[in-house]
């Protein structure tokens, strides 16, 4: 293919994929199958890799991320990102209305919108293409996070239609949908990580990640809520919102034009409970004067616009009685207390259970069984207990004594210093832990055996057919046919009959056979090594390429892998030294699972110029990520270590390196080098 032919095909594919993305994410239409879409994207990616200079900045291939940013440049906002004045009362809202009425002559109207609890973002477009995405920062300047913004699929990279201005700015709210947040926290809990507090914090942290590939996997979304340019081509804010939606922006359909204060109050009352049907948390309503000329007439104070105000909802809370505490045991052995409550209506749903998190929380609130407790559901998804009404405490009640033995197997619980959770150490004999590991193994991000599930796993475990993952591959029609039981699902809370007929058995065995095609990184994640989530598993698989190399890797080799620290390295070493795990691994290999992949170009051996040399990398580097430098050293025979000692060959120093490391290196007469000097060792 000639360069001109490639350019034409890249343009054609880009336009087609942009269109399909718009149809899917904004119109809920799938014009082609997932396979056809993937083939178009794969062809585009192949052409762009072959003709790299032809890749547009806003190519659809940038949706998956992959760039590493060590520092985010600071950008001064063309239009300051001001805060809004807040009110919690109808009286204050009435006073705001009087002030507006006093300044404006004639009629005016408002636009009411949801105050989404996400992260404000500023997006600049030129000639119909995204050129910059900037955080709010201090309102005057923010961080340029364009590479991360390009991964958010509800933010258009290229606009629809021909009638957009040459240059303009859009304000929006980036958020993590509840469904994504739940999955992310489920995975973190599954591997023993601390849970994220709420979707807003998760979205904020994700936007500032330096690896745009990881940002893409977090599946953030965005609602556009404001248009800015000079001059303004619209008379009203409502017209601007309609135009943004037409051009391909994700504009929430929840806004409403209100002609009177009474309509504003009716809108507030409607959404006080209806907001809980939305995919994102909201904490209030934003009321704006609709006409742009009238906005200019009202003007600004030093900090806020006079033409807008935010009406904040009070946190939704209810009082109810704590009936009991149930303790759940997870896959990693973590024991989590759950409050069983007298049913109470809260935020539009009936709440019967609430999180108590851990023993520290129970002690902090001084909780007694039988207490009247306050339950809140604000930005959190799962209701939580926020306090106790001690005036209603029963006279004979006693403080909750946290369990000292596992509720499932009665093994004494342990609590590691510095950790909040209690753990059951009986990982090989505790039924919830065993079943949790089996459920993890078949899950979507692991082996993806969708024909199985919680109830079927419980049945297979009860019948003694499957207690370790390798035993899935021993199942036959004869072993499965006719099995049945009544099952009460802990997660669903529903009782149902599980039975294995011919069709069910065929589906199970077909799913197990299909799972043998899962790539190495997913198999590694499925093994359930503590602290090894899907991202870490991918890093390990890319770096070591085979299970044999990973199994033989010493501590120093593990910690030189990007994102692998002391805790993960020790967990991996511990898993591979367990004799029972070795047996399981051997049987999974014999069953035909994928335990190798092609080594990435970054870590493939290039030379032995650094053989026998050891390196510590510290600080921030302007033109290189630490991962890139680690891969470069490893590929040329060098060894990455974590600590400075007399045996160290070089300390590669970047900006903001801690003074303690420099002092220790100087004390031990270790040679301190720059990145350029490192490249010089390689003749570059």
What is the phi/psi pair of residue 637, to 5°? 90, -5
Q: Say how far apart CA 651 and CA 557 lie, in whole Å.
A: 17
Map residue 31 onto helix, strand or coil.
coil
Cβ atoms within 10 Å, residue 12: 12
3-state SS string over 79-135?
CCCCCCCEECCHHHHHHHHHHHHHHCCCCCCEEEEEEECCEEEEEEEECCEEEEEEE
The span from the CA of 394 to the CA of 103, in Å, is: 58
115 is catalytic: yes
Nearest to 593 by CA among 428, 456, 472, 453: 472
Cα separation, 130 vs 152, in Å, equals 12
CA distance 297 to 165: 24
The one catalytic residue among 115, 153, 437, 661:
115
Phi, psi of 94 (to 5 degrees): -65, -40
Distances (CA, A) of 308 to 17, 93, 305, 506: 38, 10, 6, 61
Torsion angle of alpha carbons 271, 277, 281, 285, nearest 10°?
-20
- Counting every residue written for the chain, the total comes to 684
Supply angle C-alpha 620, 150, 115, rounded to 5: 100
Sheet holding 671-673, edge to edge: 639-640, 614-618, 650-653, 671-673
- List the Cα angle 306/307/311 in 5-degree steps: 95
Q: Are 339 and 266 a contacting pair, CB within 8 Å?
A: no
Question: Cβ distance 429 to 408 under 8 Å?
Answer: no
Active centre residues (catalytic): 115
């Amino acid at each position: 293919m000639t360069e001109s032919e490639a350019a034409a095909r890249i343009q054609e594919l880009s336009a087609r994929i942009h269109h399909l993305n718009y149809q899917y994410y904004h119109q809920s239409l799938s014009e082609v199958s997932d396979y056809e879409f993937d083939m178009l994207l794969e062809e585009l990616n192949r052409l762009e890799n072959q003709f790299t200079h032809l890749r547009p900045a806003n190519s659809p291939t940038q949706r998956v991320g992959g760039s590493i940013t060590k520092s985010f440049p600071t950008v001064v906002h063309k239009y300051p990102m001001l805060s809004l004045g807040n009110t919690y009362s109808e009286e204050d809202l009435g006073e705001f209305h009087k002030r507006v009425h006093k300044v404006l002559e004639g009629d005016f109207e408002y636009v009411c919108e949801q105050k989404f609890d996400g992260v404000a973002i500023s997006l600049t477009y030129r000639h119909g293409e995204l050129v910059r995405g900037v955080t709010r920062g201090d309102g005057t300047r923010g961080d340029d996070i364009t590479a991360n913004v390009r991964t958010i699929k509800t933010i258009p990279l290229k606009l629809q239609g021909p009638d957009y201005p040459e240059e303009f700015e859009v304000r929006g709210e980036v958020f993590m949908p509840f469904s994504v947040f739940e999955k992310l926290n489920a995975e973190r809990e599954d591997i023993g990580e601390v849970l994220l507090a709420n979707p807003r914090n998760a979205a904020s942290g994700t936007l500032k990640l330096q690896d745009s590939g990881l940002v893409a996997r977090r599946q953030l979304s965005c609602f556009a809520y404001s248009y800015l340019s000079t001059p303004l081509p619209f008379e009203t804010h409502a017209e601007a919102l309609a135009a943004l939606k037409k051009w391909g922006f994700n504009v929430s359909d929840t806004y409403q034009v209100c002609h009177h204060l009474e309509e504003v109050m009716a809108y507030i009352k409607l959404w006080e409970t209806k907001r809980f049907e939305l995919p994102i948390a909201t904490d209030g309503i934003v009321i704006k004067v609709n006409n742009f000329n009238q906005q200019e007439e009202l003007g600004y104070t030093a900090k806020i616009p006079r033409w807008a105000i935010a009406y904040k909802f009070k946190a939704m809370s209810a009082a109810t009685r704590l009936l009991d505490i149930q303790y759940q045991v997870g896959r990693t052995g973590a024991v989590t207390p759950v409050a069983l409550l007298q049913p109470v209506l809260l935020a539009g749903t009936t709440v019967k259970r609430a999180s108590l998190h851990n023993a520290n929380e129970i002690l902090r609130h001084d909780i007694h069984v039988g207490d009247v407790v306050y339950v809140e559901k604000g930005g959190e998804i799962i209701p939580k207990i926020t306090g106790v009404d001690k005036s209603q405490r029963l006279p004979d009640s006693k403080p909750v004594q946290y369990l000292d033995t596992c509720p499932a197997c009665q093994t004494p619980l342990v609590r590691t210093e510095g950790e909040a959770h209690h753990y059951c150490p009986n990982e090989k004999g505790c039924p919830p832990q065993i079943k949790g590991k089996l459920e993890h193994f078949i899950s979507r991000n692991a082996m993806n055996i969708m024909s199985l599930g919680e109830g079927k796993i419980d049945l297979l475990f009860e019948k003694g057919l499957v207690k370790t993952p390798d035993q899935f591959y021993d199942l036959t029609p004869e072993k499965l046919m006719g099995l049945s039981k009544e099952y009460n699902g802990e997660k669903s809370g529903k009782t149902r009959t599980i039975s294995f007929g011919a069709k069910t058995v065929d589906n199970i065995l077909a799913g197990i056979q299909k799972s043998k095609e899962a790539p190495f990184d997913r198999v590694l994640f499925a093994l359930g090594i503590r602290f090894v989530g899907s991202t870490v598993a991918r890093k390990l698989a890319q770096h070591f390429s085979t299970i044999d190399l990973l199994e033989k890797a010493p501590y120093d080799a593990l910690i030189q892998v990007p994102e692998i620290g002391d805790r993960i390295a020790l967990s991996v070493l511990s898993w591979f030294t367990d004799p029972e795990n070795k047996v399981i691994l051997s049987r999974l290999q014999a069953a035909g699972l994928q335990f190798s992949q092609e080594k990435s170009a970054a870590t493939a051996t290039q030379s032995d110029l650094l053989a026998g040399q050891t390196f510590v990398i510290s600080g921030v580097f302007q033109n290189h990520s630490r991962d890139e430098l680690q891969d470069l050293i490893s590929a040329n025979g060098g060894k990455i270590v974590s600590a400075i000692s007399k045996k160290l060959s070089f300390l590669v120093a970047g900006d903001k390196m801690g003074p303690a490391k420099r002092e220790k290196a100087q004390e031990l007469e270790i040679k301190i080098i720059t990145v350029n000097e490192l490249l010089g060792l390689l003749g570059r």
